[in-house]
């Protein structure tokens, strides 16, 4: 890889981190490209060379986070071909990153607390929904693979199960990010995740109606 390409990748990463810090500090709606450029120590023209707008910047940050999660999931699958065990490990690693990785913490803080759902923010909201749909697809695939491998009951209501997982994870994330009731995620997450996973395997109300 030529030096200029390496430098371009470093600059792009630097701009993404500057955008992350700006969004985290001010929220997406109140952040401007000019402020992001200033925080990155570059001209606005230099910022435009790499990113068209705030949506483009947020999309790049999303991709960075998704790559981290995907690499972790692939590593779990390589160590363990059982889809269910890999999913269990991935859920726990997700919360470990949320607690210990500042980039992941700030990203989810932005996503849950500072991504205003307004008409002026329609493009950002649409971008968030796109990635939520991708997560939904991966979740559906995991449930189907786990049923096929007999780690989950064949009569599991997968639509309800996916909603159960999503609401449980979103609720735990939101509670952790809330300053009102601080708690140690490393202590709470394994127990709460364990309860969720046990319910998926055993709770009769998550089975398909006869």
Query: Looking at the predicted structure, is the pLDDT value of residue 2 above 60?
Result: no
Instruction: Determine the Cα–Cα distance for residues 193 and 169; give it in Å rounded to an integer.
Output: 8
- Average pLDDT in the 108-112 region? 92
Helix 185-202 to helix 158-177 angle (10° resolution) is 170
* Structure-model confidence comparison of residues 110 and 81, the more confident one: 110
Query: Looking at the predicted structure, is the pLDDT value of residue 3 above 60?
Result: no
Per residue in 181-202, pLDDT (tens digit) is 889 999 999 999 999 999 999 9
Average pLDDT, the chain: 89
Query: Looking at the predicted structure, is the pLDDT value of residue 1 above 50?
Result: no
Share of residues in the chain with pLDDT > 90 (%): 53
* Structure-model confidence comparison of residues 79 and 181, the more confident one: 181
Query: Looking at the predicted structure, is the pLDDT value of residue 70 above 80?
Result: no
Query: Looking at the predicted structure, is the pLDDT value of residue 168 above 80?
Result: yes
Q: Output the CA–CA distances (angstroms, integers) from residue 95 to 50, 101, 104, 129, 136, in the order listed.
A: 31, 10, 10, 21, 18
Q: Say what the pLDDT of residue 180 is.
A: 80
Q: Say what the pLDDT of residue 127 is.
A: 85
For the chain, domains (ranges, CATH) are 1-52 (1.10.10.60), 53-206 (1.10.357.10)
Q: Say what the pLDDT of residue 179 is.
A: 81
Q: Say what the pLDDT of residue 76 is.
A: 64
Q: Which of 115-119, 145-149, 151-155 comes out lowest in average pLDDT? A: 115-119
Q: Which of 2-11, 35-44, 169-178 comes out lowest in average pLDDT? A: 2-11
Residue 106: band (very low, low, confident or very high) from pLDDT cuts 50, 70, 90: very high
Instruction: Determine the Cα–Cα distance for residues 172 and 154; give it in Å rounded to an integer.
Output: 28
Residue 110: band (very low, low, confident or very high) from pLDDT cuts 50, 70, 90: very high
Top mean pLDDT of 27-31, 42-46, 198-202 is at 198-202
Residue 105: band (very low, low, confident or very high) from pLDDT cuts 50, 70, 90: very high
């Amino acid at each position: 890889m030529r030096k200029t390409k390496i430098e371009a990748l470093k600059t792009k990463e630097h701009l993404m981190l500057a955008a992350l810090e700006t969004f985290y500090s001010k929220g997406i709606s109140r952040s401007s490209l000019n402020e992001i450029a200033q925080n990155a120590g570059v001209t606005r023209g230099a910022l435009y060379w790499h990113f068209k707008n705030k949506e483009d910047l947020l999309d790049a940050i999303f991709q960075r986070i998704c790559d981290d999660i995907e690499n972790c999931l692939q590593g779990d699958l390589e160590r363990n071909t059982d889809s269910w065990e890999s999913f269990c490990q991935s859920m726990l690693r997700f919360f470990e990153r949320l607690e210990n990785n500042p980039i992941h913490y700030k990203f989810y803080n932005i996503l849950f607390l500072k991504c205003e759902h307004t008409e002026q923010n329609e493009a950002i909201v649409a971008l968030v929904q796109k990635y939520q749909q991708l997560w939904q697809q991966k979740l559906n695939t995991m449930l189907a693979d786990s049923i096929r491998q007999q780690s989950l009951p064949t009569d599991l209501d997968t639509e309800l199960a996916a909603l159960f997982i999503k609401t449980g994870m979103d609720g735990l994330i939101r509670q952790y990010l809330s300053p009102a009731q601080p708690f140690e995620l490393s202590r709470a997450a394994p127990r709460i995740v364990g309860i969720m996973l046990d319910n998926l395997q055993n709770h009769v109300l998550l089975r398909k109606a006869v």
